[in-house]
Structure 1
Amino acid sequence: MKATAKAHPIQGLVKYHGMRDEELRLPYHDSISVCTAPSHSKTTAEFDPDRESDVYVVDGEEIEGRGAERVRMVVDHVRELAGFDHRVRFESENDFPTNIGFGSSSSGFAAAAVALCEAAGLDLTHPEMSTVARRGSSSAARAVTGAFSHLRTGLDDEDCRSERIETDLEDDLRVVAAEVPAFKHTEAAHEEAAESHMFEARLAHIHEQIATMRHALREADFEAAFELAEHDSLSLAATTMTGPAGWVYWQPETLEVFEAVRDLREEGVPVYFSTDTGASVYVNTTDEHVDRVEEAISELGIDTRVWGVGGPAQVLDESEALF
């Protein structure tokens, strides 16, 4: 009863913010994202009826506290679906920086959900497994279905699940990931989202944002899709900054990247910035222009990685197990 899975992290394009149900992690509104590759999380899970307690290890360290609670939410749901109460050994690792705004919780919980479901012998579709991953992180639901995906809001697993959006942009999109290593606390920001006076304004236009993004992706309209993603990043920041804690994630380097992107755009380069709840920046461009964009960001003294579009979470061969 052992399995290993891999998943790619997400970049939010129309981002969710805040949850109507903290336990089931049901978001207030829909969201759309794209998975970035080759960045990934890998997880091995093994259920053992003779084991006395669960063990959760992430990047070589056993986790406790709130981190362990979130993993346990996913593990317990899988045990419930499988109809047993076996303890689990769980190990996960990431090949990219975590907790700086690059979606590590999305890929981590997506890989966890797929590995756990496989180890438990469950035969579920990717949309069905997305509801399992959602219990750890709402964004993880979209990392399960991969590429460009849409998580619909709802009050149960039948409605609140992820589906993939087919688009020709999958082949041409390149993401220059600008690393600004400032630790962030996404969960705390979600908890107070509805207390911002900007939150109702965000809800008022989010449905049009979703419809417009879906249409742009269907039409493979790069400029329309990623201009919208850039604007949505600013909308999200306005909401986090005006909550009770006044969360400000951006650092001076973040703003330098924004200005570099705008300068490139003035020169005719198709390029747009996007951020989630973190200081690091996704710089979205096309395959034709990625070298020029990466050079411009690197000249700021900022570490970069170049990513493409990642597919759905997948089960790996047993030879790739972490233990």
Structure 2
Amino acid sequence: MKATAKAHPIQGLVKYHGMRDEELRLPYHDSISVSTAPSHSKTTAEFDPGLETDTYVVDGETLEGRGAERIRSVVDHVRDLAGFDHRVRFESVNDFPTNIGFGSSASGFAAAAVALCEAADLGLTHPEMSTVARRGSASAARAVTGAFSHLRNGLDDEDCRSERIETDLEDELRIVAAEIPAFKHTEEAHKEAADSHMFEARMAHIHGQIAEMRHALREANFDDVFELAEHDSLSLAATTMTGPAGWVYWKPETLEVFETVRELRDDGVPVYFSTDTGASVYVNTTAAYVEEVENAISELGIDTRRWGVGGPAEVLDESEALF
């Protein structure tokens, strides 16, 4: 009862903010993202009736407290679905910087859900497994289905699940990831989202934005898709900054990247910035311009990575197991 899986992190294009149900992690509204590759999380999970306790290890660290609780919420759901109560040995690693705004919780919980479901021999589809991953992180639901994916709003697993959106932009998109390390507190920001006076304004336009994003993706209109993503990043920041804690994730380097992107765009380069709840920046461009864009960001003294579009979470061969 052992399996290994990997999943790619996500860049939020129309991001969710806040949850109507924190236990089931049901967001207030729909969201759309794109998975980024080759960055990934890999997880091995083994259910063993001979074990006395669960163990959760991430990047070599044994988790306790809230970190362990979030993984346990996914593990317990899989145990319920499987109809057994075996303890689990769980180990996960990431090949990219975590907790700086690059969607590591999404890839981590997506890989965890797929590995756990495979180890329990549940035989679920990717949309069904997305509801398992969602219990760890709503963004993880979209990392399960991969590429460009849409997580529907809902009050149960039948409705609140992820589906993939087919688009020709999968081959064209290139992402220059500008690494700006700054520890973030995404979970705390979600808890107070509805307390911002900007939240209702965000809710008023988010449904139209989802419709526009889906249409632009189907039309493979690069500029429309990533202009929408850029504006959504600004909207999300306005909401987080006006909550009770006044979260400000951006750093001076973040604003430098924004300005550089705008200067490149003024010169005719198809390029747009996007951020999640962190200081790091996704710089979205096309294959023809990615080298020029990466050079411009690197000249700011910022470390970069070059990513494309990643597929759905997948089960790996047993030879790739972490233990």
Fold match (TM-score > 0.5): yes
Q: Identity rate of aligned residues, in percent?
A: 87
CA distance in 2, matches of 1:219, 1:122: 36
Equivalence for 2:189: 189
2:81 counterpart letter in structure 1: L
CA distance in 2, matches of 1:172, 1:295: 19
Shift of 1:25: 0.1
CA distance in 1, matches of 2:209, 2:66: 33
2:187 counterpart letter in structure 1: E
1:30 counterpart letter in structure 2: D
2:88 counterpart letter in structure 1: V
> Equivalent residues in 2 for 1:1-323 (5 A)?
1-323=1-323
- C-alpha offsets along residues 47-86 of structure 1, whole Å, 9 cap, x if unaligned? 0001000000000000010000000000000000000000
CA distance in 2, matches of 1:15, 1:74: 22
- C-alpha offsets along residues 169-192 of structure 1, whole Å, 9 cap, x if unaligned? 000000000000001010000000
CA distance in 2, matches of 1:62, 1:271: 40
CA distance in 1, matches of 2:242, 2:27: 19
* Residue ranges of structure 2 left out of the alignment (5+ in a row): none
Shift of 1:257: 0.1
* Residue ranges of structure 1 left out of the alignment (5+ in a row): none
CA distance in 2, matches of 1:218, 1:298: 32
Taking structure 2 as the reference length, the TM-score comes to 1.00
1:291 counterpart letter in structure 2: E
Shift of 1:112: 0.0
CA distance in 2, matches of 1:65, 1:168: 43
Q: What is the SS of the residue equivalent to 1:13?
A: strand
1:190 counterpart letter in structure 2: H
Q: What is the SS of the residue equivalent to 2:295?
A: helix
How many equivalent pairs are there? 323
Taking structure 1 as the reference length, the TM-score comes to 1.00
CA distance in 1, matches of 2:6, 2:69: 21
CA distance in 2, matches of 1:279, 1:61: 24
CA distance in 1, matches of 2:193, 2:60: 32
1:167 counterpart letter in structure 2: T
CA distance in 2, matches of 1:67, 1:203: 29
Q: What is the SS of the residue equivalent to 1:243?
A: coil
